[in-house]
Amino acid sequence: MTGIVRRDAGAVRLDGMPIAPRSAEESARAGIATVYQEVGLLPNLTVAQNLFLGREPTRFGLVRGRAMRQRASERLAEFGLSIEVGAPLGSFPVAVQHLVAIARAVDLSARVLILDEPTASLDTHEVTVLFGVMRRLAERGIGIVFVTHFLEQVYAITDRITVLRNGRLVTERETAQFPRLDLVRTMLGRDLAEEEARAETGPRVRRTAGPPVLRAEKLGKAGYLQPVDLSVAGGEVVGLAGLLGSGRTETARLLFGAERPDQGRILLDGKPVRIAGPRDALKHRLGYCPEERKTDGIVADLTVRENIVLALQARQGPFRPLGQAAQDRIARNFIAKLDIRPPDPERPIGLLSGGNQQKALLARWLATEPRLLILDEPTRGIDVGAHAEIIRLIRSLCEAGLALLVISSELEEIVTYSDRVIVMRDRAQVAELADGAIDVTAILRAIAAEAPRTASACQPEPA
């Protein structure tokens, strides 16, 4: 709609007139303004400068600072904000920055305002303020497209819901006639009745799990993740389910030391350990395949072989190098075992398909012979064939006695391989399902559970 990505089908009409913006600038001129999740303003400039950048009031070529600040104050007052507009934007909380971004967008042109995940980093009170502003704008006749994954907020503010899934339009309905469970179901693309039928016909094999390899007790970080309790045993797959942004990746990063927790502790084999960084985690034989393959996983310039041996080599330290022959053996072994294609260990990994990159990353961690492997969205963005292979792989790893913690948005997938499922919502743990209780319906119910307060009620408050 904003023209940043060129469309190749369909039409956009504004007041019945077709428009075809080719850039953010053009769409803004046409009257479509967008505010992204990352505040698209400059924190080093003052609030007033941000509001008027590129169109400052001037006289004889000089900016009329006082007039600009006064106008800025007036504009922001309409949004219920009374702040020092001469102060740098970065000195204000994110919520205020968002409101300023919206103010700029509305002021520029807008008849249609697109808000992309504006509430992702706001607290409850700030969300309320934002919603107040949105209602007032709507009353002024501005159309608002509110992109979000927070269900509560969808019901709190919207008139109509459009559900998109994997780049496809799923449905569009009036909010009032769209029950919560239906919404979650359409979001995840599951037909409930069918799921329940399948859950009954497919008997689950109960695997006997040993003592927990890893236990996390009240692991959390203020403003990042509310305290989480979980344990994983050898030969057990624990699924972490939840919508995008519900705190799954955050849990994984805290466990692996990629982010420092400020409360709780981690026990390995019953003994408390200090994991101050990925290096410590590696030493304790933990592994973590991150969700963002490109930025956090692969080193695109290096070959498949080098990418595979990277973690093992890191654990051995620089002065006990794996010889060329050993590296080659490890790489070829995993290429054959995981069927990485093309089977050329010397090809830069950046040239491989997503599925094969994912397999190479799996190989990187398997090469370190981990006790616990954390897989974050292992099947995201890879084709159907590779998808099935990865799931088969997860099963066989588990049978080999590895402890696995798997994060996935594909509920059906989680149900098929998990022994236990932990459900997350809004950065907190909301439910834990075991054995017979694991089915898609139960997970959906937990995700869609009505009152958000129960989320924190079902776990002890942090001291």
Partner 1 sequence: MRALRAGAPQLLAFLAVLLADRLVAPQFLAVHWQDGRLFGSLVDVFNRGAPVALLSLGMVLVVATGGIDLSVGAVMAIAGAVAASLADSQPLPLVLAAALATGLVCGLWNGLLVAVLRIQPIVATLILMVAGRGIAQLITEGRIITFASADLAFLGGGALLGVPMPVVLVFGMLLVTLALVRGTALGLMIEATGGNARASALAGIDTRAVTLAVYAWSGFCAALAGVVAAADILGADANNAGLWLELDAILAVVVAGSSLLGGRFSLWLAVLGAVLIQAMNTGILLSGLPPELNLVVKAVVVLAVLLLQSPRLAGLSLLLRSPR
Partner 2 sequence: MSRNLPVLVAALLFAAGYGLCATQYPAFLTTRVVGNLLADSAFLGIVAVGMTFVIIAGGIDLSVGSVVGFTTVFLALAITRWGLPPLAAFGLVLAAATLFGAAMGALIHVFAMPPFIVTLAGMFLARGAGFLLSTESVPIDAPLYGAVSDLALALPGGGRLTLTGGIMLAVFLAGGVLLHATRFGATVYALGGSRQTTALMGVPVGRNTVAVYALSSLLAALAGIVFSLDTASGTPLSAVGVELDAIAAVVIGGTLLTGGQGGLPGTVLGVMIGGLIQTAITFDGTLSSWWTKIATGLLLFAFIALQQGSVALAGRSERRARA
Site for partner 1, rule CB under 8 A: 256, 258, 277-279, 281-282, 288, 290, 295-302, 306, 309-311, 313-322, 364
Which listed residue (1, 14, 19, 63) binds partner 2 by CB under 8 A? 63
Would you say 94 or 154 has its CB closer to partner 2?
94
Place of tokens 């054995």: 435
The one segment of 57-65, 234-242, 308-316, 445-453 that binds partner 2 by CB under 8 A: 57-65
Closer CB to partner 1, 236 or 306, in the complex: 306
Decide if residue 56 touches partner 2 (CB under 8 A).
yes
Q: How far is the CB of 318 from partner 1 (least distance, A)?
A: 5
CB of 293 to partner 1, least distance (A): 9
Whole-number Å distance between alpha carbons of 214 and 196: 32
* 462 touches partner 2 (CB under 8 A): no
Short-list 121, 137, 126, 147, CA closest to 34:
147
What residues numbered 298-327 form the site for partner 2, per CB under 8 A? none
Q: Identify which of residues 60 and 319 has a Cβ nearer to partner 2 in the complex.
A: 60
Contacted by 53, from partner 2, partner 1, none: CB < 5 to 8 Å by type: partner 2
Pairing mode of beta strands 271-273, 168-174: unpaired
Subset of residues 170 to 229 that bind partner 2, contact rule: CB under 8 A: 222-224
Exactly one of 7, 20, 42, 172 binds partner 2 (CB under 8 A); that residue is: 42
Q: What are phi and psi of 261, to 5 degrees?
A: -70, 155
Site membership for partner 2, residue 45 (CB under 8 A):
yes
Rounded CA separation 102/94 (Å): 12
Radius of gyration of the chain (CA): 25
- Find the part of the chain contacting partner 2 (CB under 8 A) among 75-83, 87-95, 210-218, 336-344: 87-95
To the nearest 5 percent, what fractions of the chain are helix, strand and coil? 40, 20, 35
CB 333 within 8 A of CB 309: no
> Should residue 458 be labelled a site residue for partner 2 when binding is judged by CB under 8 A?
no
Is the CB of 46 or the CB of 313 nearer to partner 1?
Answer: 313
Our CB check for partner 1 shows the closer of 218 and 332 to be 332
Rounded to whole angstroms, how far apart are CA atoms 100 and 232? 45
Tell me the site size for partner 2, rule CB under 8 A: 27
Give the residue among 312, 260, 259 at the shortest CA–CA distance from 285: 312
φ, ψ at 245 (rounded to 5°): 80, 15
User: Helices marked H in 213-300 — which ranges?
Assistant: 248-256, 278-283
- For residue 57, which amino acid is it? P
- 295-298 CB contacts, 8 Å cutoff, 24+ apart: 297/357, 297/361, 298/349, 298/350, 298/357, 298/360, 298/361
**Considering the rule CB under 8 A, would residue 28 count as an interface residue with partner 2?**
yes
Residue in 3, 30, 31, 41 binding partner 2, rule: CB under 8 A: 41
Q: Is 24 in the site for partner 2 (CB under 8 A)?
A: yes
Using the rule CB under 8 A, is 93 a contact of partner 2? yes
Angle formed by the axes of helices 324-338 and 354-366, nearest 10°: 120
Task: Residue 171: name its binding partner from partner 2, partner 1, none (Cβ under 5 to 8 Å by kind).
Answer: none
Question: Residue 246 in contact with residue 262, Cβ under 8 Å?
Answer: no
Task: Return the one option of partner 2, partner 1, none that residue 62 interacts with (CB less than 5 to 8 A, by type).
Answer: partner 2
Nearer to partner 1, 364 or 387 (CB): 364
Cβ neighbour number for residue 418 with a 10 Å cutoff: 27
Q: Give the residues lining the site for partner 2 (CB under 8 A).
A: 24-25, 28, 40-45, 49, 53-54, 56, 58, 61-63, 65, 88, 90, 93-94, 104, 121, 222-224
